[in-house]
Amino acid sequence: MKIGDCGFFTRDQANRPWDLQHRSCTDPEAALVVVREASTVECPDHSFSWSAQGRRPSKTRYVCTHLNAQVGDCFNNPKNKYAHLYRLRKVPCSMAGAYQVNTRVESHDYGVCHTANSKYSETAGVEHKQPPVSFCLHRIGT
């Protein structure tokens, strides 16, 4: 996995380390983008990091990813992070329960959904620290 690679994670039946299913960053399935290659340094955004343990615990390798999203893109559930990141997918906005990106700001902003909270009944914020970018998604349909 290299910086700028896009796709989505999968996990096989044996629960071996996750694998990035590479897609063009403009592909409708490209839910994530790699922002830092494998390193022994933990990612600032733990919820969007992939890790694989080496032979010794001090050799754990971390790959940092971000949501690959523009305003209007839809996802199955932005709460699929941490150990559930392999479930995160871009989906058609017509899918019941989908979350649509309504805001994207090029900063780390915990208040990214502040305005949207009064407009939509259910929102979810995703904030990334490095590089800084934040998203607000709202649920469209039930």
Q: What does the pLDDT read at residue 88?
A: 94
Q: What are phi and psi of 84, to 5 degrees?
A: -100, 10
pTM metric for this prediction:
0.87
Per residue in 1-49, pLDDT tens? 899 999 999 876 665 567 889 999 999 999 999 999 989 899 998 899 8
For residue 66, is it within any domain? yes
Do the domain assignments include residue 15? yes
Q: Cα(104)–Cα(100) distance, rounded to whole angstroms?
A: 11
Residue 85 domain-assigned (yes or no):
yes
Query: Containing H/E element for 119?
Result: helix 116-119
Residue 1 within any structural domain of the chain:
no
86 phi and psi angles, rounded to 5 deg: -65, -10
Burial per residue of 67-102, b for 16 or more beta-carbon CB atoms within 10 angstroms, e otherwise: bbbeeebbbbbbebbeeebbbbbbbeeeeeebbbbb
Q: What is the mean pLDDT of residues 127-141?
A: 94
Q: How many structural domains compose the chain? A: 1
- Would you call the peptide bond into 131 cis, given omega within 30 degrees of 0 as the criterion? yes
> Is the Cβ–Cβ distance between 30 and 57 less than 8 Å?
no
CA-wise closest residue to 74 among 104, 103, 95: 95
Instruction: Say how far apart CA 11 and CA 26 lie, in whole Å.
Output: 23
Percent with pLDDT over 70 in the chain: 92
Range of the domain at 61: 6-140
DSSP letter at 23 equals: E
Which of the four pLDDT bands, split at 50, 70 and 90, describes residue 82? Answer: confident
